[in-house]
């Protein structure tokens, strides 16, 4: 029986491993299915990584190396795929050596996210070569030294879309346009200004990609804006964003899932419905930047240490937290009364203005006016000392 197993060697998992080891835990095992630890930053060679956790401005590969170096006191096994979870901390692992079942007193799910493929986006047209996710594109460029195309379009304007844009520019690839179905970009401004005026890439908002055209490889895309259709010549399509949590293990197993986040439901101590399992980072919801994922990994590690010492309140004491009105989700999905101040995180389902309210037993505990955007994190403070005698908590955007 191990003390701790961490599934996923990205920012959340490696940061948790670093904090567990720094606290004196000497039996920490990190399992990573890829041949190299470090997560998605390994293939994003532009700067912008490490500010929140290391207080440095690094490239993605440097940030990944520093994450691995800082977690060196833990045992990191790459090329190990977790295939199943069992109640009480069981983990089934497959590697070149075969299949084995491990057990730990505390298991952290930190497998991150994956991008939605073309099939799930229901993009019509032909199926030529040259339609890639951002992750696949960046891996081709930085690990393979390839230029899969020269004049692609980038579908999406999330933060990761601008990461793809920077990767393209570094490789001598000149995107012909960034396409966004919404009326404004998803990432924070002035991202669109930077793309247009500094990098020379048009950003077309309120523009839907209808179809991909081409035989052997991409030749063009058909788009629609305000009822008018247009053909944009290009030789590739980068599918950006539309992330979903890499939560297939939890979904196929015994853990309770949240339909809003698409990830496992947790309490304010990062515990899943089985208290032997914890979850942190982008496996919980799509999608936060690496610094936020790392911070959650650190917080989950602190909770795991308390659990190993028997200092966490019983999970049965937790009350449900429900998202209502215009909210897409809220987490943690359970909170323990009398546990001090807790930070709830939420996302709106659509852009709009309204009142954000937090209530229990019909009593409003906190509220403020808000201009909500669907891809922006909403933070709510909750004093759990006010929940004694309550049956649950409701977070509403009305």
- What pLDDT does residue 75 have? 98
Q: What is the CATH number of the domain that holds 327?
A: 2.60.40
Which two three-digit tokens encode residue 140? 């081709």
**pLDDT tier at 323, thresholds 50, 70, 90:** very high
- 237 and 248 housed in the same domain: no
Asked which of 284, 312, 340 is the last residue of a domain, the reply is: 312
Q: pLDDT tens across 349-386, in order?
A: 988 899 999 999 989 999 999 999 887 899 999 999 99
Instruction: Give the tokens for residue 24.
Output: 């004196």
Q: What is the DSSP string of 167-205?
A: HHHHTT----EEE-SSSS-SSPTTHHHIIIIIS---EE-
Task: Say what the pLDDT of residue 375 is.
Answer: 78
Residues 197 and 338 in one domain: no
CATH number at residue 224: 3.50.50.60
Structural domain count, the chain: 3
Asked which of 312, 345, 364 is the last residue of a domain, the reply is: 312
More confident residue, 196 or 203: 203
What is the value of pTM for the model shown? 0.94
- Percent of the chain past pLDDT 90, that is, above it, reads 85
Q: CB atoms < 10 A from the CB of 363, how many?
A: 8
The set of residues, in sequence order, having a beta carbon less than 8 Å from that of 22 and lying 6+ positions away, is 73
pLDDT of residue 263: 98
Last residue of a domain, one of 285, 312, 339: 312
194 vs 26: which has the higher pLDDT: 26
| Whether 301 and 283 share a structural domain | yes
Kindly state whether residues 181 and 265 are assigned to the same domain: no
How much is the pLDDT for 191? 77
Q: Are residues 125 and 139 in the same domain?
A: yes
pLDDT at residue 297 in the model: 98
pLDDT of residue 164: 93
Query: Residue 358 and residue 291: Cα distance in Å, rounded?
Result: 27
pLDDT attached to residue 241: 77
| Model pLDDT, residue 199 | 84
pLDDT of residue 175: 97
Is it the case that residue 202 has pLDDT exceeding 90?
yes
H helices present in the chain, as ranges = 11-22, 51-54, 60-70, 118-121, 134-142, 159-170, 191-193, 248-252, 290-308
4 and 67 part of one domain: yes
pLDDT in tens, 208-231: 999 999 999 999 999 999 999 999
Closest CA to 26 of 78, 72, 63: 72
Same domain, 111 and 176: no
Q: Is the pLDDT of residue 169 over 80?
A: yes
The reply to whether 104 and 1 lie within a common domain is: yes
Is residue 256 pLDDT above 80, yes or no? yes
Q: Residue 32: its pLDDT value, please?
A: 98
Indicate whether 148 and 291 sit together in one domain: no
Residue 376 is predicted with a pLDDT of 86
Q: What's the mean pLDDT when you consider all of the chain?
A: 94
Looking at residues 388-398, what average pLDDT do you find?
Answer: 95
Task: Identify the sign of the CA torsion 267, 271, 273, 275.
Answer: negative
Q: What domain range is 143 assigned to?
A: 117-241
- Pairing, β 203-204 against β 177-179: parallel
94 with 64, same domain? Answer: yes
- Predicted confidence (pLDDT) at residue 25 exceeds the cutoff of 80: yes
To 5 degrees, how large is the angle CA 46–CA 52–CA 56? 55
Judgement on whether residues 254 and 292 belong to the same structural domain of the protein = yes
- Residue range 94-139, pLDDT digits in tens: 999 999 999 999 999 999 998 888 877 878 888 999 999 999 999 9
Burial of 374 (0-12, 13-18, 19+ CB in 10 A): middle
Q: Do 135 and 232 fall into the same domain?
A: yes
CA 253 to each of CA 82, 84, 187, 220, 329: distance values in angstroms, whole numbers, following the listed order: 12, 7, 34, 42, 22
pLDDT tens by residue, 81-93: 999 999 999 999 9
């Amino acid at each position: 029986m191990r003390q701790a197993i961490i599934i996923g060697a990205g920012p959340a998992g490696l940061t948790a491993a670093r904090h567990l080891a720094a606290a004196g835990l000497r039996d920490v095992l990190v399992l990573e299915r890829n041949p190299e630890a470090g997560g998605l930053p390994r293939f994003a060679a532009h700067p912008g990584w490490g500010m929140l956790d290391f207080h440095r401005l690094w490239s993605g590969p440097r940030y990944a190396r520093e994450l691995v170096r800082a977690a060196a006191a833990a045992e990191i096994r790459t090329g190990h795929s977790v295939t199943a979870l069992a109640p009480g901390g069981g983990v089934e692992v497959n590697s070149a050596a075969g299949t084995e079942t491990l057990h730990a007193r505390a298991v952290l799910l930190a497998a991150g996210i994956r991008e939605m493929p073309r099939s799930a986006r229901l993009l019509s047209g032909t199926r030529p070569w040259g339609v890639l996710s951002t992750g696949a594109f960046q891996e081709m460029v930085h690990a393979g030294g390839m230029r899969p195309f020269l004049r692609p379009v980038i579908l999406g304007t999330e933060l990761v879309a601008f990461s793809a844009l920077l990767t393209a520019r570094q490789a001598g690839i000149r995107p012909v346009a960034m396409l966004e179905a919404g009326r404004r970009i998803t990432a924070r401004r002035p991202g669109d200004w930077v793309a247009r005026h500094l990098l020379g890439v048009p950003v077309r908002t309120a523009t839907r990609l209808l179809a991909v055209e081409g035989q052997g490889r991409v030749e063009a895309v058909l788009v629609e804006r305000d009822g008018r259709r247009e053909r944009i010549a290009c030789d590739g399509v980068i599918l950006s964003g539309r992330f979903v949590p890499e939560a297939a293990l939890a979904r196929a197993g015994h853990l309770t899932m949240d339909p809003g986040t698409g990830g496992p439901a947790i309490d304010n101590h990062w515990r899943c419905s089985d208290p032997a399992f914890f979850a942190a980072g982008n496996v919980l919801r799509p999608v936060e930047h690496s610094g936020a994922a790392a911070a959650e990994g650190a917080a989950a590690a602190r909770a795991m240490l308390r659990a190993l010492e028997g200092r966490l309140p019983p999970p049965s004491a937790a009350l449900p937290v429900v998202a209502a009105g215009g909210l897409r989700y809220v987490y943690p999905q359970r909170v323990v009364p009398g546990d001090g101040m807790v930070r709830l995180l939420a996302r709106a389902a659509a852009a709009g203005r309204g009142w954000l309210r937090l209530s229990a037993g019909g009593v409003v505990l906190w509220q403020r006016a808000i201009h909500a955007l669907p891809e922006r994190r909403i933070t709510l403070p909750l004093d759990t000392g006010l929940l004694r005698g309550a049956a649950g908590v409701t977070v509403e955007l009305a």
